[in-house]
Chain A
């Protein structure tokens, strides 16, 4: 009896939690009349009209925005996995001067709120001439190649601690240099941490808004989230459908990642969060 009560409570909470998502999907497929008349979750008639309308609603079509978003996200994934792995290898396995101090500084930047950095970084990139330059994505992409995401460095250092040092030492006795230890021992064994980093980098960059808003000024350079805000200006009844359709499309990549890697995502935040 108690078990059933608990299950019912959970189902009720789940219904409330999932309602907005289901409602969004339903509304995206409703015709303009139905959005006004039918307050139910499920459209009486599924119409794809909102998607074609939303796709072409702005002067540049939405495919372009999605491509821009995908490009920024893929480069961020590449940059984060490569640079954070190298940084983590240095912290975890190599000996260099002031290693402990640098590690503490790195952990310190973990607590540094990201939004505080926006202004200083903007000024730096502007001084370098990267803002509004030929390729406006430089300020969005380059930091990822410099291992600035302390979170991932930390995650990988923690992970590498679990790789037995005997493996390194055995390789060293066989005459391996730090480079080949990295290549043949650490790199292959770090795959789970790399995958976690890649997934989170993608999702965070895809969802990121503040930075993209600040650095992108030409419509054709916009990423999907920045383009979506243009819909808000015109929240007349007729544009709700297209706005929802495009919002829904923009969430699909993250949703697919969620479906494919659900276990990993959930475990990822556990290991990174609790081993500290």
Chain B
């Protein structure tokens, strides 16, 4: 606990100073709100990183959850070898966060990478995805979506909890598969969807490794993959502007906290807990 709380408070203090790692703590200067002012008004890279991160999270997270739910639904009806399928779909979630996989991913979407060779079979000339500012972030999104296995496993467990009688009753009443999905599966699964949404959103905001590998730590091409955490790394550990980086970390914390609160608040309107209804 101390290893979390004390540094947090220390960094809150430092976010009001010009601490640059090299000067001893006794000689740093109090600069008031200067770091925060710089962040919100004079540093364009800050807002750019915020936009990149939001774009990434807003597109990749819903698509990843949709993929997870879709495959979970396909898998949920008794099928032979479900254990094997489940395991293999889960594999990318285990490996995908590593540097090694990010490297493979970047090579795959190079100008002469495997993806363009594949497109060439159909006579399409692909873009140099990872070196193209308008496509680089998209390749990272695809990498994130590719790791849909972890939320899928959680969805599968959730689907198992839905009582089969509900579907039987609905079939008797003549409800088709779509109506069953809308009126039984979705509401019954909403707590699990909510859980996955919170988890993946927090996760999505923190994407670092793949952006670092793609841009070799610069956030390029043309800052197109400058995720918030990568920007934080550059400011704090490359430019050694620790006071400023502390301020960025604190704003990040507050924003993620706010987003979590908002998710929980809106969750009241669509998350359906069966036990609360019985009371």
Contacts and interface: CB of A to CB of B under 8 A. Distances in A.
Interface of A: 3, 6-7, 9-10, 13-14, 17-18, 20-21, 23-24, 27, 36, 39, 102, 105-106, 109, 111-124, 126-127, 142-143, 146, 148, 203, 206-207, 209-210, 213-214, 225-226, 228-229, 231-233, 235, 240, 243-244, 246-248, 250-251, 254-255, 258, 262-263, 265-266, 269-270, 273-274, 276
B256 interface: yes
Contact of B74 (A6, A143, A209, A269): A6
Nearest to B75: A10
Interface string B82-101: 01011111111011011111
Interface in B97-112: 97-101, 103-108, 112
B153 A116 contact: no
Given A6-B79, A10-B71, A210-B233, A254 B85 contact: no
A18 B3 contact: no
Interface stretch (B5-13, B34-42, B265-273): B5-13
B249 A120 contact: yes
B153 A269 contact: yes
Interface stretch (B43-51, B57-65, B168-176, B203-211): B203-211
Name the prevailing secondary structure of the A interface residues.
helix
Contacts of A113: 202, 205-206, 252-253, 256
A116 B1 contact: no
Given A20-B108, A118-B232, A207-B95, 15 more contacts: A17-B89, A21-B91, A23-B108, A111-B202, A113-B253, A119-B249, A146-B3, A213-B233, A228-B100, A228-B103, A244-B104, A251-B95, A262-B90, A274-B157, A274-B158
Contact of A116 (B86, B114, B249): B249
Contacts of A123: 7, 10-11, 14, 19, 242, 246
Contacts of B86: 266
Contact of B195 (A203, A209, A232, A273): A273
A225 B88 contact: no
B141 interface: no
B192 interface: yes
B77 A6 contact: yes
Nearest to B252: A116
A117 B236 contact: no
Contact of B103 (A206, A243, A269, A270): A243
A14 B75 CA distance: 12
Nearest to B245: A119
A150 to B, nearest CB: 9
Interface of B: 1-4, 6-8, 10-11, 14, 19, 21, 25, 71, 74-75, 77, 79, 83, 85-92, 94-95, 97-101, 103-108, 112, 114, 117-118, 146, 150, 153-154, 157-158, 192, 195, 199, 202, 205-206, 208-209, 212-213, 216-217, 229, 232-233, 236-237, 242, 245-246, 248-250, 252-253, 256-257, 260
Contact of B98 (A210, A231, A240, A254): A254
Contact of A39 (B10, B100, B117, B257): B117
Contacts of A105: 1
Contacts of B199: 273
Contacts of A263: 83
Contacts of B192: 274
B4 A112 contact: yes
Given A6-B77, A23-B114, A112-B4, A225 B195 contact: no
Contacts of B99: 209, 225-226, 228-229, 247, 250
The interface centre, meaning the residue of B95, B153, B192, B229 with most chain A CB atoms within 10 A of its CB, is: B95
Contacts of B6: 124
A21 B108 CA distance: 11
B101 A251 contact: yes
B157 A270 contact: yes
Contacts of B213: 229, 232
Contacts of B21: 126
Contact of B85 (A10, A39, A117, A229): A10
A207 B154 contact: no
A199 B212 CA distance: 26
B249 A207 contact: no
Given A20-B108, A24-B104, A119-B246, A269 B150 contact: yes
Contacts of A258: 87, 91, 94
A95 to B, nearest CB: 18
A158 B256 CA distance: 26
B11 A120 contact: yes
18 contacts: A6-B79, A10-B79, A17-B88, A20-B146, A23-B114, A106-B1, A111-B256, A112-B253, A116-B253, A117-B4, A119-B236, A120-B8, A210-B209, A213-B212, A226-B99, A254-B98, A258-B94, A269-B154
A116 B256 contact: yes
